[in-house]
Structure 1
């Protein structure tokens, strides 16, 4: 969620479980019948707390909820095996990495109810062919958010527009090597998954020329700056942009037509899962259109669930900023797991850029 390291710890308080009164739910909770427990590992603030309460009341399962702030932190904790998580929500490239590391259980599609609600274009992705290990949760894009008090719409439609000297010390960038190196690669006409060293070095040179226009490379602070009209431009993810647009009517989000990142966060079952029946119950619960729509309204990210999308307000489901048309979707790339060597190369070149900024 995207995606590469955000959000605060969520503590969900739930009352009236099975008529027994009030109980508290937090990371350290060990109360309740262990056989009726579901342990979830998710990004912070990435589910409507009311849905956790509803799931518990409907099923009798007690949810233990823990959060992470980056795919890498999630991977390390699951790999260490200290906690037997039943559900986790990694991003696309990390699902591929977890598969290779044999950290995931295959999902039995015969136990799923509602997978047919998912739009076919979000299934059978390269990171998980035939969805053997994952079920789509949310999806989104990487794009540019601009403030119309300072930027005209025709001035900000393409990645190249960011390099205009007019925007000196004006652009906020999300602190993510793959994303920032990625749009520089697209600007130079290359794949966001390039493993060609000369292409990467060229993109790094291109990116270094953006340094004078870069105001800061940050994470959550982007929301504060943009909502408060303290920066005219930012590069961020669609879900974050959605929150910003809700807080400032002068903000707009655009996905450059020449290409960008299409990301997915999917539900998986780690190999250490002890409560698989509960895990399937939760997946099916989240596949229900009403629940998925409620979650999408709360989070602000795009739902892959067609029937859930149909339940969203018309202004939301027809918003081309967050549900791009098919023509734009064709030019979007999903990140692949490039392996340690190339990930380090991206990180090193990005670090060099940050030192220039």
Structure 2
């Protein structure tokens, strides 16, 4: 009986030690994971020194991954194999992720520096009261041209891009919303048009415009324009500004009908396992000195008003990056159009690309 008692006591002690050891192991693992921040961003969209400085200052370790489209980013977060702590979707994608329950609601009491953001860029239609997102960078969509060959009056209206003199001359951004948007703007319509009849008419209107398009490209437009392998490009302001840095003969303009103003935003996905670290990194990115350094590296427009005092004078005075208010007031944010209308935009754009013939 005594031996049995001792055996039982020994088993209990052994189990206790195993449980205690496992608890310690779990505590250690939690300690390690709590120092990891999974960071999911567009490619080359943050100064690497900022991440290194943050790690040195806080002891966190950033695991950095990149995506090349909002759709790819959303799909990977939905798969849930990686618990990203911060992601950087564009405005209409914030709406989509919110509606799918993919985002954590932001606790503004944990955010330091939200007041640094320009009030013009807060409380926008895609995220009222910034419940789920904080603006990271912004910009416009317009026309970059070689000013040795053309002047601003050549592009003061989107309609002028239909002129036959531009046949085979234009590099245009390869995007459904952007391309259909050119046609909508030329007729004075909203970039968020949902009427199927109007969209099909717009697609037909774009057929002669497409004859003027030399190629549909993405980031390559910047280099082709800088190297003067093309004289007209339709692209984003940040890309245009980088091309202008290389070639002083380039100018950028937004036609009188207006255009798109876009925002990339900081969000915390619902699957985040290190929300504490996410808030610390958000607060770091909102610091004026950090935001200014980041803007000078990325060469896009910062929404951080206090950082504007610290960015390079060259950037601050650049009207491509920071247009006047009368221009900004004519710009429109893309909204989530819903699944069916998004498919329609994509189908019409594909039809334009592979068979540019009017219906």
- In structure 2, stretches of 5+ residues that fail to align are 1-28
Shift of 1:245: 0.9
Q: What root-mean-square deviation, in Å, do the aligned CA atoms of Structure 1 and Structure 2 show?
A: 1.3
More displaced 10-residue stretch of structure 1: 37-46 or 196-205: 196-205
2:163 is equivalent to residue 153 of structure 1: no
User: 1:200 aligns to what SS in structure 2?
Assistant: helix
Contact 2:240–2:320 under 8 Å retained in 1:
no
User: 2:248 aligns to what SS in structure 1?
Assistant: coil
Contact 2:112–2:286 under 8 Å retained in 1:
yes
Larger Rg: 2
Contact 2:113–2:287 under 8 Å retained in 1:
yes
* Partner of residue 249, structure 1: 248
* Partner of residue 121, structure 2: 122
Shift of 1:356: 4.3
* Partner of residue 323, structure 1: 322
* Partner of residue 98, structure 1: 97
* Partner of residue 225, structure 1: 224
Give the TM-score normalised by the residue count of structure 2. Answer: 0.89
User: 2:235 aligns to what SS in structure 1?
Assistant: strand
Shift of 1:313: 2.5
Q: How do residues 196-345 of structure 1 correspond to structure 2 at under 5 angstroms? A: 196-345=195-344
2:64 is equivalent to residue 65 of structure 1: yes
* Partner of residue 73, structure 2: 74
**Counterparts of 1:269 and 1:182 in 2: how far apart (Å)?**
30
**Counterparts of 2:314 and 2:60 in 1: how far apart (Å)?**
36
User: 1:285 aligns to what SS in structure 2?
Assistant: helix
**Counterparts of 1:111 and 1:220 in 2: how far apart (Å)?**
36
User: 2:56 aligns to what SS in structure 1?
Assistant: helix
**Counterparts of 1:173 and 1:96 in 2: how far apart (Å)?**
26
**Counterparts of 2:138 and 2:74 in 1: how far apart (Å)?**
20
Deviations 1:70-101 (A, max 9, x none): 00000001111110000000000000000000
* Partner of residue 194, structure 2: 195
* Partner of residue 139, structure 2: 140
More displaced 10-residue stretch of structure 1: 92-101 or 158-167: 158-167
**Counterparts of 1:138 and 1:94 in 2: how far apart (Å)?**
15
Contact 2:169–2:232 under 8 Å retained in 1:
yes
**Counterparts of 2:246 and 2:51 in 1: how far apart (Å)?**
26
Give the TM-score normalised by the residue count of structure 1. Answer: 0.89
* Partner of residue 15, structure 1: none
Deviations 1:258-302 (A, max 9, x none): 111010001000001011110000000000000000000000100
**Counterparts of 1:149 and 1:105 in 2: how far apart (Å)?**
50
**Counterparts of 2:223 and 2:314 in 1: how far apart (Å)?**
24
* Partner of residue 175, structure 1: 174
Contact 2:241–2:320 under 8 Å retained in 1:
no
**Counterparts of 2:343 and 2:261 in 1: how far apart (Å)?**
22
Contact 1:255–1:321 under 8 Å retained in 2:
no
Shift of 1:319: 2.1
User: 2:306 aligns to what SS in structure 1?
Assistant: helix
Contact 1:211–1:356 under 8 Å retained in 2:
no
Shift of 1:152: 2.0
Moved over 6 A (4+): none
User: 2:64 aligns to what SS in structure 1?
Assistant: strand
Contact 2:142–2:236 under 8 Å retained in 1:
yes
Deviations 1:161-217 (A, max 9, x none): 211111110000111000111121011111000001121122111211112211001
